[in-house]
Chains A and B, each alone.
Chain A
């Protein structure tokens, strides 16, 4: 069973995504900020079950999604985990900076949970094909 780590400070969104993922047969981990999310990813690895994908919101207090992404990429334990960014910034420059930080895909808010699920499946398939 694939595990998805959902990092979002908005509990409405975190709970809905978690529910949808569970219904689709994924295991989930949740975090309400970037630091907690990073800790969860590293702890998951230490326990032998690192997340297979990280879904992270861009705008969060303490640590933005982009900062989370850079930290994930800089850490050898987590550097290969694919990342999807949830963002309200669909402007070209913002999207570009997301990809520069190492995200694999992005979804614009307000979002369609069905589309998000499709993107998660696609990113996981690509990641599996690479390894």
Chain B
């Protein structure tokens, strides 16, 4: 019995060693192969294309390695080198293959195709990706939205905003993350979303107005903060006002910290810290002193955002030794830890 166990153990060890050696060998072969074709790819990037007959002289395996390397490098670059790589991959048929892969039965293949089309930035990419926004798999839709964001073409704006609706809707943050990359996004177009009957459209609109720091729309965002029927829109409106960092939003946010949905109140407290107007110090102090610990902690974090005046308030509360002194002390301790780890 003991001999059999020992033999099995030896056999298992030999198999493990064999597999590791095979992996190592495969890895070494790949490194060698890449080293061979790398100068050819870099040279082509430099010259804007391959020298005559250069690719024809390569073996099939080398062509495969070259394409894999170009695909891997593509999303890491921008500018002329990226354009050249995209054009080379298009010439090799990689874009056409990806367009076909959009109709694959496997969601992973469709998602990868979307990602590649966005990276390659071919002339048909926007249209192809808009089609993928309606895929039945949410992961593929998400991949298409991200790719459209990376492309940054203004014509993707309306389809992205429309993808918030219907049975195959994308989450608000997925759309916001994509739209924020379309830098030529007109605020006037976004503003229309504030009047939408759809909660998701209004939510993404206030989110984006905040991220774009669209001060021209601050009054409309304040209006959503006070009167929107959706708690999510109100919370995002509070966050947007914080991102806009305008003292004009302080009065509206001060009215929102005591009354309304919890998520909105928490975001309003944080936003007051981001704006950092001296008027908010006594209000945040009062919230820290209140028995509601969650809001107290949020207010303590907001005070830290303000800097020294906020720290002074927290020191005062911590030294008072009252019931909420521990909230202030914990916030000050976390600040101290952060400072000491970054110095």
Given the interface pairs A19-B38, A19-B42, A97-B342, the reply to whether A12 lies near B81 with Cβ below 8 Å is: no
Residues of A within 8 A of B73 (CB): 12, 16
- Is residue A110 contacting chain B, with contact meaning CB distance below 8 A? yes
Cβ contacts B96-112/A at 8 Å (1 or 0 each): 00000000000000000
Are the C-beta atoms of B78 and A110 separated by less than 8 Å?
yes
Are the C-beta atoms of B76 and A10 separated by less than 8 Å?
yes
Given the interface pairs A16-B42, A16-B73, the reply to whether A112 lies near B342 with Cβ below 8 Å is: no
Interface size on A, residues (CB 8 A): 16
Q: Report the minimal beta-carbon distance from B209 to chain A, rounded to whole angstroms.
A: 18
Cα(A20)–Cα(B72), bound, Å = 18
Interface residues of B in 10-64 (CB under 8 A from A): 38-39, 42, 46
Interface size class, chain B? 10 to 19
Interface residues of B in 261-291 (CB under 8 A from A): none
Q: Report the minimal beta-carbon distance from A100 to chain B, rounded to whole angstroms.
A: 8
Interface residues of A in 1-49 (CB under 8 A from B): 10, 12-13, 15-16, 19-20, 23
Contact of A113 among B72, B75, B81 (CB under 8 A): B81
Are the C-beta atoms of A114 and B42 separated by less than 8 Å?
no
Cα(A114)–Cα(B84), bound, Å = 13
20 contacts between A and B (CB under 8 A): A10-B76, A12-B73, A12-B76, A19-B38, A97-B342, A109-B76, A110-B75, A110-B77, A110-B78, A110-B82, A111-B76, A111-B78, A112-B77, A112-B78, A112-B80, A112-B81, A112-B82, A113-B79, A114-B79, A114-B80
Cα(A112)–Cα(B81), bound, Å = 7
Cα(A28)–Cα(B60), bound, Å = 32
Chain B residues packing against A (C-beta within 8 Å) = 38-39, 42, 46, 69, 72-73, 75-82, 342
Cα(A23)–Cα(B75), bound, Å = 23
Given the interface pairs A12-B69, A12-B73, the reply to whether A19 lies near B39 with Cβ below 8 Å is: yes
Q: Report the minimal beta-carbon distance from A119 to chain B, rounded to whole angstroms.
A: 13
Residues of B within 8 A of A128 (CB): none
Interface residues of A in 50-102 (CB under 8 A from B): 97
Residues of B within 8 A of A97 (CB): 342
Cα(A39)–Cα(B342), bound, Å = 22
